[in-house]
A = this chain, B = another copy of it.
Amino acid sequence: MEPVQGASQKELVALAAKYRESLRHAVYLTRSLDAEGDLTTAQVSTLNMLAEAPLRIGGIARRSGIKVPSATEQVIRLEAAGLVLRRPDPDDARGVLVQLTERGAQELAAANQRRNAILAERLAALSPDDRTVLEAAVPVIDRLNSLIPEMTKPEKK
């Protein structure tokens, strides 16, 4: 009756289907957080990485789950917008270190705040129980995300 062990294949697939569907709609949630002259979602994403520490192009690509040329392109746009700056990696002249500019940090903070505020407003509409469930789910979602191949590759060494 109770497979203490785990879930059946069928159950796993069913959960997968439901979760995929929810995620699909969640994309639109994210999109609905975007605004006019604001940064795009992908830009916010990249800038958030750089807020922790400067990264090389390859690092951005790996963490974003995109290819190197796409990362180059992203960075070029961000640089043109004055939000990041590129400089050669002192340890390896082939590499390029990308870091936030003052303005990049400011605009990122503003964009994050705005998005979080809108989302917080919607979260407030949920029941306290729902919020508790969501709170508990976040680390689980993160663990699941961390299982993505490619994004788990070692830094370089």
Question: In the bound complex, how far is the Cα of B146 from the Cα of A130, in angstroms?
Answer: 14
Q: Check: A124 CB closer than 8 A to any chain B CB.
A: yes
Contact B22 A142 (CB under 8 A): yes
Partner of A64 from B5, B28, B48, B140 at Cβ < 8 Å: B28
How many residues of chain A get a CB closer than 8 Å to chain B's CBs? 63
Contacts of A45 in B (CB 8 A): 24
Q: Given contacts A7-B124, A29-B148, are A115 and B22 in contact (CB under 8 A)?
A: no
Q: Check: A35 CB closer than 8 A to any chain B CB.
A: no
A40 CB to closest chain B CB, in angstroms?
A: 12
Partner of A30 from B23, B28, B130, B143 at Cβ < 8 Å: B23
Question: In the bound complex, how far is the Cα of B21 from the Cα of A70, in angstroms?
Answer: 21
How many copies of this chain are found per oligomer?
Answer: 2
Binds B, one of A74-82, A87-95, A96-104, A131-139: A131-139
Tell me what chain A mostly uses at the interface: helix, strand, loop, or mixed. helix
A positions within 8 Å CB-CB of B: 4-7, 9, 12-13, 15-33, 41, 45, 48, 64-65, 112, 115-117, 119-126, 128, 130-131, 133-138, 140-145, 147-151
Could you name 30 residue pairs across A and B whose Cβ atoms are closer than 8 Å? A5-B128, A6-B124, A7-B131, A12-B120, A12-B124, A15-B123, A15-B135, A16-B116, A17-B116, A19-B138, A20-B30, A20-B116, A20-B119, A21-B48, A22-B138, A23-B23, A23-B26, A23-B30, A25-B141, A28-B64, A28-B65, A28-B145, A28-B148, A29-B145, A126-B140, A133-B136, A133-B140, A134-B140, A136-B136, A136-B137
